[in-house]
Amino acid sequence: MSLIQKLKGDGADLPVRPGNQAIALAWLGGFLAIAVVAILSDAFATTLVLGSFGASCVLVFGYPDLPFAQPRNVVLGHVLSSLIGLLFLSIFGFHWWSLALAVATAIALMMYTRTTHPPAGSNPVIVFLILPGWNFLIFPTLFGSLLIVLVALIYNNISRKAKYPKYW
């Protein structure tokens, strides 16, 4: 099969649209999680918000049953990816190839450790863009991702019949 044929896709139907209630609940969950993170960021005068957290909210509130949305994936995926970004920036410096290696290594490490969280794949890019210190691993990465998971644990178990998480 040629590349052109593959680019045409399989012709599958679009996925079923979630119901209005599911959409509203995901909206409210995302709002609450980012609100908690932003309010505590202001209250403690420290950075707890990370750009990739918005995408994390899509998963933990919109699709909480997926493996990518489980607490271990959210927290460890973010921490491992930020750690890789910081390591590669520190060891190799700011180069296109060190950024590319950092992202690729973060993907591979998340897959190897079974902690894949797609939004965390952007953390090495964020590290290379803002050039933070090592405290970035704790604030915002660890504490911010823990706050999102905490809100998800409470909210998803109150608003849904299904249990969250599926596993730790």
Per-residue pLDDT for 153 more than 90?
Answer: yes
Please give the Cα distance from 76 to 142 (Å, whole number).
8
Q: What is the dihedral of CA 126, 131, 134, 135, to 10 degrees?
A: -70
Mean pLDDT (the chain, rounded): 97
Mean pLDDT of 17-41: 98
pLDDT given for residue 1 in this prediction: 82
- What is the CB neighbour count within 10 angstroms for residue 137? 18
Residue range 71-127, pLDDT digits in tens: 999 999 999 999 999 999 999 999 999 999 999 999 999 999 999 999 999 999 999
